[in-house]
Amino acid sequence: MRFDVITLFPELFAPFLSTGVTRRAYESGQVQVRLWNPRDFSEGSYRRVDDRPFGGGPGMVMMAEPLALCLEAIRAERAVTENAPVPVVLFSPIGQPLNHSLVEDWADSAGAVLLCGRYEGVDQRFIDAHVDCQISLGDFVLSGGEIAAMALIDAVTRLQPGVLNDEGSHQLDSFNPALDGLLDCPAYTRPESWRGMSVPAEMLSGHHAEIERWRREQRLALTLLRRPELLDAARANGRLTPRDEAFLAAKAADISPKP
């Protein structure tokens, strides 16, 4: 798997690629990350990559030509070793929200070219000609696409075989189908009592069935409280049992405002 990242600030990626549990995947080449600066493909001594928008207005717009030349260089290099072209992704507020399902799709892919926009955006002609899909981290605006690119790469990398120390660790993540798309439950570790707060008795019982029942109920309760729309999706997919529904009904009655 290989990601080619088009960014005006490649130095932002150095600590990201050299720390944490995913570092081994980058250093070994299991997940390749190649950084490309469009300034290297611009003309003139100033290496200009942006200009004022037609029609006026604040800010600057990334120019199409340096991006196109950069993309051509990426495709030429990939053609030497890769069997098929990969999509060009732009991180943008109008893009598809990044979620676990989308991450799983990317985890089974050959990678992508990730375009990190800056300033007021990218010349629409480049987008129309070359961008295959757009992705958003959420309903807010960042200074550039680098943080979004790191989020996608990290989420995809940790799903690759052998990257995490515990191969089954990501199966217990929030949103994972193994948890029926629910939020994960709270976690506890030593000591059993900390500043007057104790670990729930169920977690200390040693009774595996009781522990799993408690975890299931905690996932259901937390999802009901924080992300109830995930329960609707779980119902639509037939992932909630009659026991789950009975627990949720009782919990909903507990948290409903009393007249």
**Among 89, 85, 44, 80, which Cα is nearest to 65's?**
44
Q: Which two tokens stand for residue 230?
A: 């995930």
Of all helices (H) and strands (E), which one includes residue 34?
strand 32-36
pLDDT in tens, 113-144: 999 999 999 999 999 999 999 999 999 999 99
Q: Collapse the DSSP code of 156 into the 3-class scheme (helix H, G, I; strand E, B; otherwise coil) and give the result.
A: helix
Dihedral (Cα; 109, 24, 89, 119), 10-degree rounding: 180
Q: What is the pTM of this model?
A: 0.90
pLDDT at position 110 over 90: yes
Catalytic residues: 93, 120, 158, 173
For residues 67 and 122, is the Cβ–Cβ distance under 8 A? yes
Domains of the chain: 2-157 (3.40.1280.10), 174-255 (1.10.1270.20)
Q: Indicate the pLDDT class of residue 255, thresholds 50, 70 and 90.
A: confident
pLDDT at position 179 over 90: no
